[in-house]
Amino acid sequence: MSSTEVDFYEILGVSRDADGATIKSSYRKLAMQYHPDRNPGDAEAEARFKAISVAYDCLKDPQKRAAYDRYGHAAFQQGGAGAQQADFGDLGDIFETIFGSAFGGGGAAGGRARPRRGADLRYDMQIDLEEAFHGKTTEIEVEVSRACGTCDGSGAEPGTSRRRCDLCHGHGKVRAKQGLFVIERPCPNCHGRGEVLEQPCHDCRGEGRVDKMQSLDVEIPPGVDNGTRIRLSGKGEAGPMGAPPGDLYIFLHVKPHTVFQREGTSLFTQVPITFTTAALGDTIAIPGLDGTKHEIDIPAGIQSGKQLRKRGGGMPVLQGRGHGDLVVEVVVETPTRLSARQKDLLREFRETETGKECPESHGFFSRIKDAFGT
């Protein structure tokens, strides 16, 4: 069947006023039906497939279609190479949808597996709260695969090279027919690379990488928190056979502190004070993680559980400016060991009490009296 003798619309089985979507749909169905891979050894099907491709190449292009509608095949007889060459791009789309890879693969690059990037690594590091406050630079050692120095990561023994895979002929993929479908999968001989080694490197055995201990400097910025992740680009596992390396991720774990508890950028601590300090008021000093003493004013008559805030006395803002707050929770401690003199003074004080000194206590017992008459 010659494309110069049969009408292009008739070849595709569409009317002359069919829109582009209809033409494309019909082409895809016919291309699947008459594709050589589905009709091995069928010369008529192969010729029909070529005619379908030529017809679609013309009708999918608005300019070519307009010329064909006006002049027929004669429109391409003078310099009309465009109508004589089938465009297999859309056919590739069909087989990519069905089989998961581009059809054809005329060159080795079309089907080869891309170099597989090396794996990412994780390293867990414990630091003190003081180190999280100030930040630091520290050195760690990790065992990681690096590019083989003998073969420079190629996997090939020095003096040898790679050659085209004999099984897939450099495509990196092989096909197997299952019923009406052709299944395409990575080549088992070259693992999708399209090439095999003439002789593997004696040090890395063809992997292109070897395991070794590596010392790395890690910069910990001020203000990091528990679970902060630091990424070291390109410091993970080397990729096989010269592929790019992965990344190394440092996960920070901040140890509990004996004085402070952290919530975001705020630092919390409980400060026990004597009942005389609570009654009379005073100023106390709390040593901060920055080495300075933060003075906290205790107002007279403060109650246990009251929180006092010192602006800027907390953790630094990670990758920002300023600090959080230092929050002090007051705990009024009742004395348990009193001398005879102290007891006498307290008894003397109690005799002078009117009830107004402790309004909460006085109010509670007043409510008891009103409720129960006692």
Q: Per residue, what are the HEC states of the chain? A: CCCCCCCHHHHHCCCCCCCHHHHHHHHHHHHHHHCHHHCCCCHHHHHHHHHHHHHHHHHCCHHHHHHHHHHHHHHHCCCCHHHHCCCCHHHHHHHHHHHCCCCCCCCHHHCCCCCCCCCCEEEEEEECHHHHHHCEEEEEEEEEEEECCCCCCCCECCCCCEEECCCCCCCCEEEEEECCEEEEEECCCCCCCCEEECCECCCCCCCCEEEEEEEEEEEECCCCCCCCEEEECCCCCCCHHHCCCCCEEEEEEECCCCCCEEECCEEEEEEEEEHHHHHHCEEEEEECCCCCEEEEEECCCCCCCCEEEECCCCCECCCCCCECCEEEEEEEECCCCCCHHHHHHHHHHHHCCCCCCCHHHHHHHHHHHHHHCC
Q: Say whether 151 counts as a known binding-site residue.
A: yes
Q: Is residue 284 part of a domain?
A: yes
Q: Is residue 110 part of a domain?
A: no
Domain carrying residue 96:
8-104
Query: Residue 99: is it exposed, middle or buried by C-beta count within 10 angstroms (0-12/13-18/19+)?
Result: middle
Q: Kindly state whether residues 250 and 321 are assigned to the same domain.
A: no
Q: Is residue 296 part of a domain?
A: yes
Cβ pair 4, 73 in contact under 8 A: yes
Q: Kindly state whether residues 37 and 134 are assigned to the same domain.
A: no
Token pair listed for 172: 């990196």
Residue 38: the pLDDT is 80
For the chain, first and last CA: distance in Å?
A: 118
Q: Kindly state whether residues 266 and 245 are assigned to the same domain.
A: no
Domain end among 206, 228, 254? 254
Domain end among 198, 232, 254? 254
For the chain, the domain total comes to 4
Q: Kindly state whether residues 319 and 296 are assigned to the same domain.
A: yes
Q: Kindly state whether residues 174 and 242 are assigned to the same domain.
A: yes
Q: Kindly state whether residues 155 and 212 are assigned to the same domain.
A: yes
Report the alpha-carbon distance of residue 66 to residue 71 in Å, rounded: 9
Q: What is the pLDDT along the chain (374 residues), one digit of tens a residue?
A: 333 347 888 899 999 888 888 999 899 889 888 887 788 778 788 888 888 888 888 898 888 888 888 877 766 654 443 433 334 344 344 344 333 433 334 443 445 556 678 889 999 999 999 999 999 999 999 988 888 888 888 888 898 888 888 888 888 888 877 666 678 888 888 878 888 888 888 888 888 888 889 899 999 999 999 999 999 999 998 887 778 889 999 999 999 999 999 999 999 999 999 999 999 999 999 999 988 899 999 999 999 999 999 999 999 999 888 999 999 999 999 998 999 999 999 999 999 988 787 777 767 777 877 778 76
Q: Kindly state whether residues 126 and 247 are assigned to the same domain.
A: yes
Q: Kindly state whether residues 364 and 329 are assigned to the same domain.
A: no
Beta-strand pair 266-274/282-287: unpaired
Q: Is residue 60 part of a domain?
A: yes
Token pair listed for 286: 């709390």
Q: Is residue 115 part of a domain?
A: no
Q: Say whether 58 counts as a known binding-site residue.
A: no
Residue 85: the pLDDT is 39
Domain end among 200, 221, 254? 254
Cα–Cα nearest to 133, from 7, 275, 307, 259: 259
Residue 93's CATH number: 1.10.287.110
Residue 108: the pLDDT is 38
Residue 288's CATH number: 2.60.260.20
Q: What are phi and psi of 44, to 5 degrees?
A: -65, -40
Residue 276: the pLDDT is 92
Q: Is residue 37 part of a domain?
A: yes
Residue 323: the pLDDT is 93
Q: Kindly state whether residues 134 and 164 are assigned to the same domain.
A: yes
Q: Kindly state whether residues 219 and 127 are assigned to the same domain.
A: yes
Q: Say whether 358 counts as a known binding-site residue.
A: no
CB contact burial 2-11 (16+ within 10 A = b; e otherwise): ebeeeebbeb
Q: Kindly state whether residues 146 and 249 are assigned to the same domain.
A: yes
Q: Kindly state whether residues 304 and 237 are assigned to the same domain.
A: no
CA atoms within 13 A on the CB side of 197: 20
Q: Is residue 196 part of a domain?
A: yes
Residue 229's CATH number: 2.10.230.10
Q: Is residue 147 part of a domain?
A: yes
